[in-house]
Amino acid sequence: MTEEAEARIVASAAPRPKKRDVSGWVVLDKPVGMTSTHAVAVIKRLFRARKAGHAGTLDPLASGILPIALGEATKTVPYVMDGRKAYAFTVAWGEETNTDDAEGHVVASSDARPEPDAIAELLPRFTGTILQVPPKFSAIKIDGERAYDRAREGEAVELQPRAVTIEQLRLVNRTDDRALFEAECGKGTYVRAIARDLGRNLGCFGHVAALRRTRVGPFNLHNSVTLDAIETLASEAPDGLPDAALLPVVTALCDLPAVTVDRTGAGRLTRGQSVLLRGRDAPVFEGAVAVMLAGRLVALADFDRGELHPKRIFNLGERG
C-alpha cells in the first residue's frame, strides 16, 4: 500500500469535527469566481455551524456583499432579501451575450458607441418602478425548472416582464467602449438586464463586464469581511470560530420596529401565545415587529390591535 493510500485511509477514519449551535451573520466580501453555494459551505465549515444559508445569490463573476446567516439568523433571511441592494457595474458596449454578461457568447454586435449625453438622457427611463425581462440565464423557475438549466440545454426560454424598482441609476465614468454605473434597487432586479436593455435602447448593444454588490439591506462593505481574513482567524481557532466573529442575529432586523416585553410576555410568545400590550408606552402602529427582552431578540411577531402574535421564535443567548 502506498503512503498516499494510507494517508487517505487515516483521513477517512479520523472523526469529523463536531458541529456547533452558532448563530449570527457573516457579511462576506465574496471574491470573483466563487459561487454563493460554495461560499456558504466554506463559512459553515470554518464556524463548524449546524445550519447556514445566504440572503441573495451573487453570480460567480460578481464580487461583493454576500450576507451569510448561521443558525438562528437563517430565520431572518427574508427580511434581508427584501431590503434594498446597491451595485457598481461596468457595461461593455458593442456586444450583447446570451447570458448578458462576459461569460456568455455574443448574439448581437454593433460598431456604434453611445455619447455621454445619450446615456444621461436615457437613465430616467430606468428609474422608479419599471417592467424588466429577466435574463434567460437566471434562477427563475419555469414549470419547476430553473431558467438557466433550460437555457444551457439549448431550449428556447421566454420569461415574462416583471415589475422591479430601481431607486437610483447613475453614470460614474465612461470610455469609448465601457461605462461604469452605480445602482440602488429593490428585490428581484437584475443588473445584467439593465445593461442589456441600456445597450438595446442606445442602439449599440451591451453586457455586464464587471459587477460588484456593495449593499444588501443593512449590510455593506463597511461591516464586511474577506474570505482570506476569515480563514486567517479560523487557522487560529481550531475548535471553530467564536460567536464574537459574527454580527448579532438582530442586525438583520434594524429596519423593523422593536417592541420590548418582560419575562412573562416573552414566555407566552415562546409558547406560541399572543401578548396584549397596554399602557401609554404600547405601540400605536401595526405590522411586523422585532420583540426584545433585555436587549435580546425573542421573536418576530405581528402587532395587531394591541396584541403581539408570534411568527418566529429565537433561541439565543445574550448576543441575540
CATH level 3 topology of 256-313: 2.30.130
| pLDDT above 70 (res 40) | yes
Average pLDDT, the chain: 89
| pLDDT above 50 (res 11) | no
Q: Do 243 and 22 touch, CB atoms closer than 8 A? A: yes
Q: How confident is the model at residue 14 (pLDDT cuts 50, 70, 90)?
A: very low
Measured between alpha carbons, how far is 162 from 165 in angstroms, rounded to an integer?
A: 10
What is the value of pTM for the model shown?
Answer: 0.86
Q: How many CB atoms sit inside 10 A of residue 143's CB? A: 5
Residue of 21, 29, 59, 243 marked catalytic: 59
- 21 in catalytic set: no
Q: How confident is the model at residue 235 (pLDDT cuts 50, 70, 90)?
A: confident
| pLDDT above 70 (res 279) | yes
Give residue limits of the domains in the chain.
21-82+219-250, 85-211, 256-313
pLDDT at 252: 94
Domain 21-82+219-250 has CATH 3.30.2350.10: yes
Q: What is the 3-state secondary structure (H, E, C) of 191-223?
A: HHHHHHHHHHHCCCCEEEEEEEEEEECCEEHHH
pLDDT at 318: 52
Q: What is the pLDDT of residues 86-130, one digit of tens each?
A: 999 999 999 999 999 999 999 999 999 999 999 999 999 999 999
Asked, colleague to colleague, whether 21-82+219-250 and 85-211 share their fold, the answer is: yes
pLDDT at 233: 86
Domain 85-211 has CATH 3.40.50.300: no
- Of the listed ranges 35-44, 242-251, 261-270, 311-320, the least confidently predicted one is 311-320
